[in-house]
Each structure stands twice: as structure tokens, then as C-alpha cells.
Structure 1
Amino acid sequence: MFALNILDYSPIDEGAAARDALLQTIELAKLADRLGYRRFWVAEHHKVLSVAGSSPEMLMMQLAASTERIRIGSGGVMLPHYSSYKVAENFRMLEALHPDRIDLGIGRSRSYKDVNQALNESKGIKVSYEQQIQDLQKYFTDDTESTHRFRQLVATPITETAPEIWLLGTGHGSAAIAAKNGLAYAFAHFARPAADGAEAVAAYREKFRPSDLLAEPHVAIAVFAVVADTAEEAEKLAQALDLWLLFVESETPPPYYPSSETAERRGFSRSEREKVEKNRERMIIGDAETVKAEIVRLAEVYGADEVTVIPNVSGAANRMKMLSLLAEAFSLSVE
């Protein structure tokens, strides 16, 4: 059976503030820890005013200190914006304080143009994404023997253990990089539920080369899920997710995650309904048993070792209830 994880965006509910969202994420992580989920990851979003998760490393420090067992990770750090050396130092600091509990999920940035400019305006020559990945591996293994351009440089603090590195992606390109460099691979089914996703994952497994940090291929898939006591309640929550996705793609999105009541009152135009129907392909909606069955089916399609659920629904109480319902359906327990 595959492991079950959580990826939280820290959504700012309608009528709430960013601080509220971050405090709710802490409570959600505590609950996931108690229920028996394997990992709890947080995202990096810029210029998305309806979510509070802009700096995963900072939030991870609080989450790791607030939990006892669950692995805490980034889903993910957008590596091209940053220095691999500094990322390695940040995550080694986390690892030093919370050994064998830290995950570094990395991805490529697809941010707004001005966000990319603001995060990179002081840079000279940019290092390739794959080189940055190899740099991280060098720093996490204390390699001073290779021909690396910073051969004698080590990332501090020195730790006996290393964070797990996961490459996040949506297709064959990222799968190939993960395989070539011996990284775990997290496929974003929620972003691109394409027919060739399973092919990309299969190619990753076939072409995987062991690294000093990972001996065998390891795959997770990430899904949007909306779970409630009944299918009818789940549908109401899903309408709010429908509206939020439309907001995010609009030119002037509001700085909050809409409630189900707001979504019901507002409704959708004909052109919006076409987008909603398309976005519904990215979600699993229903009561716990219905959602469980679809998660199990997708895990079999992808041959996934783990499934990461994104509980991106309105209302902190609804997110907490969703984690409890899924944990019960999957018979999760703390080892």
C-alpha cells in the first residue's frame, strides 16, 4: 500500500488574514501528525494573494517544531530563483534540528514575469536547473573530491543525515532529469492530469540511475481532493475550489479564498463553466470512500509509492475534517 501525504497552500479564507492561514496550517500539520500521514509539505507561491505560503523554509521550521513524527517538506522550493548553496544551508539547518524529518521538494519557477524579475534582478550568469540540482547533491553529500567548480566548499551546519530531495514535475522533461540524477519524483497530477503522465513516471523508473542519496526510484503523485461526509457537501466545497481556480487565473483576483456560500451566490457564466468543467479533471470529489477508491485507482495507474493530497478547500474546519475522514478511510495510524 502507498503512503499518504498532505500538501497545504495555507489558503486565506474569506474574512480571514494571512496570519490566520499560517496558524491554521500549523494546526493542520499537528492533526496530520496525530493521524498518521507520512509527510506534510507546504508550497511556495508568489503574488497569489489568496494564499499565505510564500516562504516554505520559514514555515517548515515552525511546523517541524510543532510536530513530533511526520516528515516536513517543501512542495516546493522554486530552485531557479535561488542559490543552491543557500538552499542547502537552509535545509541543513532544518535537518540538524529535526534529523530524518526534512524533505526538500524542488521545482522550476513559472511565476509571473515581474516576480521572476524581482527575484533575479541582481543575478549575473544564471546556472542551469540541472546544474543547480547537481550542486545540491554535492552539498548534501559533503563531496570535496569531484571536479565541481566549488570543490572545497561544504554547506553548514554539517549533519549526519540529509534531507530527502524530491523533484517536482508535470511530464517527461522533469521525469528524465529526476531519473538521470537519482532523485525521488513527485508528479503533479493536479496540475496536469494528462494521459501521458503514467508514461512519464514509467520512463523515470526505467531510466533511473542510483545516486548517493537514493538507491531506487521512488514516486509520489499529487492530487486535488475535496472530501466531506456526503457527496452533496463535497460538491458545495468543490464549487468554492472551482471559483478560486477561476480567480487565480483572472487579472484581478481577490485576496482571499472564497467560501462555498460566495460561490453558490455568484454562480458561473457559460464561458466560466467550460473552464470549471476542464478544471474538474484535476480534482477528486466525494465522500471519503469515493475519494479513496479514486486515489487507489490513480496510484495503480501511476505505480505510485506515495500519494500527496492537497486539501485546498474553504474553511479551516473543513480542511481538518477532510484529513480525519481520509485517515479513517485509509485506516492510517501512527507507527
Structure 2
Amino acid sequence: MISLNILDYSPIDEGGTAAAALKQTTELVQLAERLGYKRFWVAEHHQVESVAGSTPEMLMMHLATSTETIRIGSGGVMLPHYSAYKVAENFRMLEALHPGRIDLGIGRSRSYRIVNEALNESKTKRLPYDQQLTDLQKYFSDDINSEHRFRSLKAMPIVETAPELWLLGTGQGSARLAAEQGMGYAYAHFAKPSQQGVEVVDTYREEFQPSPFLQEPRVIIAVFAVVAETLEKAEELATAFDLWLLFVESDSPPPYYPSVETAKKRGFSASEQKKVARNRQRMLIGTPEQVKAQVESIAERYKTDEITIIPNIFGADNRMDTLRLLAGAFNLNGK
């Protein structure tokens, strides 16, 4: 049986505000919990004015407090920008207040140069990524016996449980790191939807080494999904998604997620249509049953039973309908 998760960017719809987008995320997580979704993750995006998700830890605290049972996580924290010690304490605080419900998804940053400079301008050097991952393991385990440059240091508050640790990635490097560290691996199929993804996930499973936090490899596959009651409506929503992707890849994107009407009126140039065709390979589009079949096909290809849906489409009502329609198609056991 496939478990479904949600990754939400808190998109700012055309005509809307960031505050409204965050309120909509809160309503979306509450709906996801009622419907029976397993996890709800939020992202870290900087200098992308059309999404409100910039600080996952703070939004996670609000969402965890606004729900009761669904797992709340980051998809993900861009660890190279931060101190592993501070990240560990942030997530220990979350875990202390919401034990057994917190996921720490970790990624590398591919932000704009100005973002990288602003987040790191006081640093004289950067630690290797694998060292930061090792540091997180040390802080979550309260290990003061093994050799470490901060051997006696513990992350506060000290609690009996730890967040689940997931490494986000799209390539062999991240797969090998996740395997070496004994962490779960969340593969971004929506970024690289090719046969190479299966090979990447196979590498993770083959090289996995058990850790105190995970004894066997675990895989989540993340996909963009555009779901509606009819294929015609799904295609309309996908057209707005096409335009948003073009916007965020441009030099001067507008500070909103374009509506279906805006996308229809604007249209696409010949060169843009080629980009749209490539981006369409990153999406699952259709009715609930059509998308269900696509999800099941991806789950079979990657040999996983856990899929994360990214309902990054225009309109809060449409995003909520996506969750309802998929929950019905998959017979999720909600409240």
C-alpha cells in the first residue's frame, strides 16, 4: 500500500499575499491530516517572491501546533548555510514539543548568488557537507564518547526521541551520502524524471549502512502533481504551472503565481513552448484515477511505498481539491 505525503511551497496566488498563502498552508495541512496523508513538509526558498516558504523550522512549529497526528517536516533545510548545532537544537525543540512527529529533511543550496552571499558573508570557510551530516548525527545521539571536535557538546533540549533524518537529492553524490550516513533518502523525481533516478536510488539501497537512527534503507519519491475532476481542468491548471515554471527560471519573475486566465491570455512563444514540453515531463497531470496510475507506476519503478505529492498549482481551492481527489482515489484512511 502506498503512503502519500505533501510538500507545500506556500505559493502566493496572483492577487494574494504572503500572509494569505501561509494561512492557506495551515488549512492545507489540517485537511491533509483529516484525509490520512502521512507527512506534510514545507520548503526553504529564498528570493522567490511567488512563494512564502522561506523558513521551514518556524512554519513547522506553527503547523505542528495546528495539527495533532500528521508528521511535519522540512523539504528541506539547506544545511550548508547553517550551523549543524543550531539546526539540531531547532529540531530538538520541535521534537520536544511534538514527539514522534518531526522530520528533518536536509538539502544543499542552489540559491541565487546574492542569497548565498547574504547567508554566508561572515563565514571564513565552509565545512564539508558530509561533516555537517556527521555533526547532526552526533548532536541527535548525545554522543560524548566518540572523537569529535566538540566532543562534550550536547544539543538542547535533551529528549528521548529524535526527528527522522532524510537527505534530499537528485544524484549519485547525495545517494551515496545518505547511504553512508544511514539516513532516509528523498529523491526529487520532479527535478530529474529520468531512468537515471532509478539508478541513483538503487545506489543508495546497495550502499546503505545502518545507523543508530535507521537500520534499513527508506526511500521517498517526490513528484509534481496537477489533479482535477476532469482532464480538461487539469490541463488548464497545468498551463498556469507551465507559466510559473517559466517565470521562476527567468531573470525577473513576478511576485505571484499566475492564474489560469493570465496563462491563457499570455500564451507561449516558440522557444517557451520547447521549455514547457521539457517541464511537462516533470509533472503528473490528469484525473484522480489517471494520476493514481502514474503514481503507482513511479512507485513500482523506484520500488518504494511512499510518494510525496507537490500540489504546486494555482488557487487554494484547487490545491485542496487535489488532496481530496487523490485521497479518494487511494482510499486513504482519514478521520
TM-score (norm 1): 0.99
Alpha-carbon distance in 2 for matches of 1:100, 1:184: 16
Instruction: State the SS of the aligned residue for 1:313.
Output: coil
Aligned to 2:80: 80
Distance in 2 separating the partners of 1:270 and 1:38? 41
Quote the Cα distance in structure 2 between the aligned partners of 1:125 and 1:278: 37
**Does the alignment pair 1:220 with 2:220?**
yes
Q: How well do the aligned residues superpose, as a CA RMSD in angstroms? A: 0.7
Which consecutive residues of structure 1, in runs of 5 or more, have no partner in the other structure? Answer: none
* Structure 2 counterpart of 1:328: 328
One-letter amino acid of the structure 1 residue matched with residue 99 of structure 2: P
Instruction: State the alpha-carbon separation in 1 of the partners of residues 227 and 30 from structure 2.
Output: 19
What is the deviation of 1:109? 0.4
Q: Which residue of 2 aligns with 1:238?
A: 238
Partner of 1:169: 169
Q: Is 1:39 matched with 2:39?
A: yes
In structure 1, C-alpha distance between the alignment counterparts of 2:319 and 2:17, rounded to whole Å: 17
Distance in 1 separating the partners of 2:151 and 2:275: 50
- Aligned residue for 2:224, secondary structure, equals strand
Q: CA deviation at 1:304?
A: 1.6
Percent same amino acid at aligned positions?
69
> Which SS does the other structure have where 2:304 is aligned?
coil
Task: Give the 3-state SS of the residue equivalent to 2:111 in structure 1.
Answer: coil
Counterpart secondary structure, 1:40: strand
* Alignment size in residue pairs: 335
Q: Is residue 60 from structure 1 mapped to residue 60 from structure 2 by the alignment?
A: yes
Cα drift, residue 125 of structure 1: 2.2
Pair 1:252 & 2:229 matched: no
Cα deviation 1:105-128 (Å, max 9, x = unaligned):
000001000100000001122111
Q: 2:268 corresponds to which letter in structure 1?
A: F
Inter-partner Cα distance in structure 2 for 1:27 and 1:148: 43
Query: Within 1, Cα distance between the matches of 2:143 and 2:328?
Result: 44
How far 1:88 moved relative to its partner?
A: 0.2
Whichever residue aligns with residue 328 of structure 1, its letter is: G
Match of 2:280 in 1: 280
Quick one: distance in 2 between partners of 1:63 and 1:260?
A: 29
Aligned to 2:125: 125
Q: Say if 2:26 is the partner of 1:11.
A: no
**1:198-231 superposed Cα distances (whole Å, 9 cap, x missing partner):** 0110111111000001010000000000000000
- Cα shift readout 1:250-284 (whole Å, capped 9, x = no counterpart): 11100000001110111100000000000000000
Q: TM-score, normalised by structure 2?
A: 0.99
8 Å Cα contact 1:218/1:305 also seen in 2: no
- Show the 5 A alignment for 1:125-164: 125-164=125-164
| Counterparts of 2:18 and 2:6, CA distance in 1 | 20
Letter matched to residue 62 of structure 2: Q
Cα distance, 1:171 vs structure 2: 1.3
Amino acid of the structure 2 residue aligned with 1:133: L
Separation (CA, whole Å) in 1 of partners of 2:46 and 2:304: 29
- Distance in 1 (CA, whole Å) between partners of 2:305 and 2:139 is 27
Moved over 4 A (4+): none
SS of 1:147 mapped into structure 2: coil
Q: CA deviation at 1:7?
A: 0.1
Residue 206 of structure 2 is matched in structure 1 by 206
Secondary structure of 1:223 counterpart = strand
**Counterpart amino acid of 1:303?**
K
> Could you tell me how far 1:194 is from its partner in structure 2?
2.1
2:311 aligned residue: 311
Question: Is residue 130–residue 177 contact of structure 1 (8 Å, CA) maintained in 2?
Answer: yes
Alignment check: 8 A CA contact 1:241 1:313 kept: yes
Asked whether the 8 Å contact 1:185–1:219 carries over to 2, the reply is: yes
Question: What SS does structure 1 have at the residue aligned with 2:168?
Answer: strand
Q: Write out aligned runs for 1:287-298 (5 A).
A: 287-298=287-298
Any stretches of 5+ residues in structure 2 without a counterpart?
none
The answer to whether the 8 A contact 1:224-1:311 is kept is yes
1:112 corresponds to which letter in structure 2? Y
